[in-house]
Amino acid sequence: MSKLSASGRPTLPVAGEDHARLTIDLSALADNWRAMDRRSGAARTAAVLKADAYGIGLEPAAKTFHQAGARDFFVATPAEGAAVRAVLPDARIYVLSGMWAGAERLFFEYDLVPVIVSEEQLVVFMSAIADGGDIPCVLHVDTGMSRLGLRVEDALALADDIARPASFSPIMLLSHLACADEPSHALNRQQLQRFRSVISAFGDIDATLANSAGIFLGEDYHFTLTRPGIALYGGAAVNGVPNPMKPVVTAEARILQVRDVKASESVGYGAAVVCARDTRVAIAAIGYADGYMRSLSSAGITLRQTGLAGPSGMLHGHPVPIIGRVTMDLTHFDVTDLPAGSVRPGDFIELFGRTMPIEDVARAAGTVDYELLTSLGNRYERRYEALKK
């Protein structure tokens, strides 16, 4: 049985009782940061720690990046920034969602750098420093994504505003590329040119534009600081080319039962699959409650992009396709083609990782590897492979 907490509720997961597990290779994580640092050339290389470090755990990821050489870190919210500060007292931590009224205290208390994303936030920040606050900021400029940031013309006007208080002096300009994963897209060069125009208006100032994919676009996009995210965690940053990053996360699920299904019998909800042959099915303890998405189902689900092959797991070195619908806690895999007796309850099937690339699974689900990683539930036992010395 699972152990009980002081509240009487079970604590999950319990080692040895795990139905699903994540193995996180911290050496691969560090190697990926070093690889992106080399690609960044003369620019400093940050690390993005949003969403619990893309689902792998903020504390071990932050410590690993810091040990590898990172000193600049990006998070989405001030609460995430406070969590990083508890782990890395000497880091420079940037909050991408900026500062809003009522959150000023967090920025001062935890020494966080807000990325100002709008005119309204600019007012909040100016008020905070007018009251005696001493905190740097970064100015986000929207160069073509139409998401966060001041419009280019507004940023240029701000740079030329002689009435701008001397106390407002951003330490860096930031923008975000919309199409960097498509290197030939015309918007990449357009955004680069617009960003350069704003940098020129502000004079001698640091700048950051390149995310993971942007780093692969080359030196023109690197500026002072790059900020890789998905590539650090083993994901594919650029479309249509082999992924050069090392896999960091391996997700596995325990097989609970192996059963024989006769030809003409159906499998799973909706009887969406009727077996054309006698079929051996392994039922694994994994489902959409664990972030293994329903759109990975082999039939009866319309979410997956048409024309893409259904996904497989990897078992004993062989791919085994999903059969039927992914449910909340369980998924069926067709293991008919594996040798008789080779698949047993208690075996673990790899969902993605070292031998089943995460980008392939994400593509089959009609999504991206970012979503797979950040959707990982709390029922996995997380195992961290220590840094190799």
Token pair listed for 55 = 């689902």
Rounded distance between C-alpha atoms, residue 124 and residue 127, angstroms: 5
Per-residue pLDDT reduced to its tens digit, 321-370: 999 999 999 999 999 999 988 999 999 999 999 999 999 999 888 899 99
What amino acid positions are annotated as catalytic residues?
Answer: 50, 269
- Dihedral of CA atoms 114, 115, 118, 120 in degrees, nearest 10, equals 10
The DSSP annotation for 272-288 comes to -EE-SS-EEEEEES--G
Rounded distance between C-alpha atoms, residue 226 and residue 214, angstroms: 8
Annotation-wise, does 227 bind a ligand? no
Per-residue pLDDT band at 160 (split at 50, 70, 90): confident
- What confidence score (pLDDT) does residue 308 get? 46
- What confidence score (pLDDT) does residue 18 get? 79
Average pLDDT, the chain: 90
- What confidence score (pLDDT) does residue 287 get? 96
Annotation-wise, does 314 bind a ligand? no
Tell me which H or E stretch contains 20.
strand 20-25
The larger pLDDT score, comparing residue 340 to residue 206, is at 206
- What confidence score (pLDDT) does residue 299 get? 64
Tell me which H or E stretch contains 112.
strand 112-116
- What confidence score (pLDDT) does residue 16 get? 54
| Least reliable range by pLDDT among 7-11, 253-257, 383-387 | 7-11
Per-residue pLDDT band at 165 (split at 50, 70, 90): low
Per-residue pLDDT reduced to its tens digit, 264-276: 999 999 898 899 9
Per-residue pLDDT reduced to its tens digit, 223-237: 999 999 999 999 999
Rounded distance between C-alpha atoms, residue 1 and residue 30, angstroms: 37
- Alpha-helix runs per DSSP H in the chain: 26-39, 50-54, 58-68, 78-87, 104-109, 119-130, 152-160, 186-202, 212-216, 358-364, 369-374
- What confidence score (pLDDT) does residue 161 get? 79
- What confidence score (pLDDT) does residue 310 get? 62
For 76-101, what is the mean pLDDT? 97
Per-residue pLDDT reduced to its tens digit, 38-51: 999 999 999 999 99
